[in-house]
Amino acid sequence: MTSQNSLMTTVQVNVSADVFPTEDPEKVASCVRMFARLGLLEYSRGVGRDSLHGKGKGLASLEPLRNTLRRQRTLDVARANILRGLTGSASYFSLHKQAAYAGHAVFVSSDSESPLGAVRFEVICDNLPALVDWLAAKTVRGEPVD
């Protein structure tokens, strides 16, 4: 497996979430930060709903998600969802926003599965197989194989 140091320089993370009129933008921002260490989160106004966008670099930006997946013991489900979203040098996946408010990483296939929209991730990496192994390791009898 590629070392953690070499992965750090090649990982780019883009996260976005819709902010509906009934939602507090700060709570949505807090929800996003619970799963990704990002630089500045940008808030933009739109028609009917606003949105937040943030960017991160390196493995450190995904450590909160990685730690949550291990704590929840949901590595197999996470791995399947991350692999399902592979396209070229990127993986696209989404988390249920309301579950994320409560600190739980619950994967959804589309925004429609999360009534207030999903927290959408785009993870770009030159070595996606190594990144997936780091983020959502394979398991044997429920234990991560690192």
How much is the pLDDT for 1? Answer: 44
Q: Residue range 88-111: average pLDDT?
A: 94
pLDDT > 50? residue 119: yes
pLDDT of residue 142: 66
Neighbours of 86 (CB within 10 A): 15
Amino acid of residue 104: H
CATH class of this structure's domain 8-136: alpha beta
pTM (predicted TM-score):
0.89
To 10 degrees, what angle do helices 128-135 and 75-84 make? 160
| 20-49: pLDDT as tens digits | 989 999 999 999 999 999 988 999 998 778
In the chain, domain spans:
8-136
Summarised one tens digit per residue, pLDDT across range 79-93 is 999 999 999 999 999
Query: Which has the closest alpha carbon to 69: 4, 3, 134, 141?
Result: 134
Joined together, the tokens standing for residue 24 give 């507090």
| Nearest CA-CA partner of 76 in 12, 135, 128 | 135
Instruction: Report the alpha-carbon distance of residue 141 to residue 143 in Å, rounded.
Output: 6
